[in-house]
Amino acid sequence: MTKQQERARARRRYEKQQAGLSRQAADRARLSHLGTILGTVLVVVLVLAALGGAFSRVDPGVRTNAAGCTTPPPVPGTGAQLSLPDAALAAGTTWTATLTTNCGDIVVDLDGAAAPQAVASFIQLARADYWLNSPCHRLLRSGGATVLQCGDPTGTGQGTPGYGFAVENAPKDGVYQRGQVAMARTNDPTTGNGGQFFFVDARTTLPDPAGYSVFGQVVSGLDIVDRIVAEGIAGGASTTDGVPAAPISILRVAVTEKKA
């Protein structure tokens, strides 16, 4: 074999080796790219799985208490400065109010014929979102009374909508029946009504001679009040008047007039 043939043969071996190396590099590049794609797909799958799990689980910040209620929102802490509406807004009419709470909906029929001023006030406050996220701050279980008091956005029992009005449609015998809704008030029966009201959970006697304005009747959701009452009052079994042990808040209120 001549030197020229040896050089040609050596060149072919070299070129063959280089071609093999190029194929190996290309194969490595393809594998690396495939690995990147698979890694990206795996990350996406894991993220989607995590998100799916998050959406399928109950938000850890939303828990239920023994009364079946979710965690209530923060207390707004402010009242309002509104003007007393004309009683004519509700006179002779019946309205339905749906109180959405963190424990479920409570539906109440409002009697504008029996208590026009209280119902007109309720309608105005509902439309103004006065009770947005407001707590029911008081449960009374004492002296023949079982009532749940709500309607104060401050949560203190001192909040008002900026006006007051007199008692109307109070029972003469001081007895309030299960499911009735009545205005809570200050000691002044002529101006003491405002935005606070109470649900009567069991037949209740309130001996105040001036009485309390009965303006509605629960038609659905009284079982929610039952559950709150059953959980008792914060402070223990011996406590008869105070904050409910199972927190309940009004999230919003919707009112519609019932057509004859």
Give residue limits of the domains in the chain.
1-57, 87-258
- Which CATH superfamily is 87-258 part of? Cyclophilin-like (2.40.100.10)
CA angle 197, 201, 207 (to 5 degrees): 70
Determine the residue type at 195. G
Q: Is residue 201 predicted with pLDDT exceeding 90?
A: yes
Dihedral sign for Cα atoms in the order 107, 112, 113, 118:
positive
What pTM value is reported for the model?
0.76
Say how far apart CA 248 and CA 228 lie, in whole Å.
8
- Token pair 């071996």: residue: 13
Q: Is residue 55 predicted with pLDDT exceeding 50?
A: no
Section 90-108 average pLDDT: 98
Provide CB contacts within 8 A for 135, sequence distance 6+.
72, 75, 150, 152, 155, 247, 248, 249, 250
Question: In terms of Cα–Cα distance, which of 116, 248, 239 is closest to 169?
Answer: 116
Section 88-116 average pLDDT: 98
Predicted local distance difference test score (pLDDT) of residue 43: 39
Predicted local distance difference test score (pLDDT) of residue 65: 81
Which pLDDT band, with edges at 50, 70 and 90, does 205 fall under?
very high
Portion of the chain with pLDDT greater than 70, in percent: 76
Which pLDDT band, with edges at 50, 70 and 90, does 74 fall under?
very high
Q: Is residue 212 predicted with pLDDT exceeding 70?
A: yes
- Give 222-246 pLDDT, tens digit per residue: 999 999 999 999 988 788 999 999 9
- Output the CA–CA distances (angstroms, integers) from residue 77 to 38, 135, 138, in the order listed: 54, 10, 16
Average pLDDT, the chain: 85
Question: In terms of Cα–Cα distance, which of 84, 159, 154, 157 is closest to 122?
Answer: 84
Q: Is residue 258 predicted with pLDDT exceeding 70?
A: yes
- Give 16-51 pLDDT, tens digit per residue: 655 555 565 555 555 455 444 434 434 333 433 444
Which parts of 64-137 fold into alpha helices (H)?
A: 116-127
Predicted local distance difference test score (pLDDT) of residue 61: 45
Section 195-199 average pLDDT: 98
Q: Is residue 121 predicted with pLDDT exceeding 60?
A: yes
The partner residues of 106 in beta bridges, in order of sequence, read 99
Predicted local distance difference test score (pLDDT) of residue 27: 56
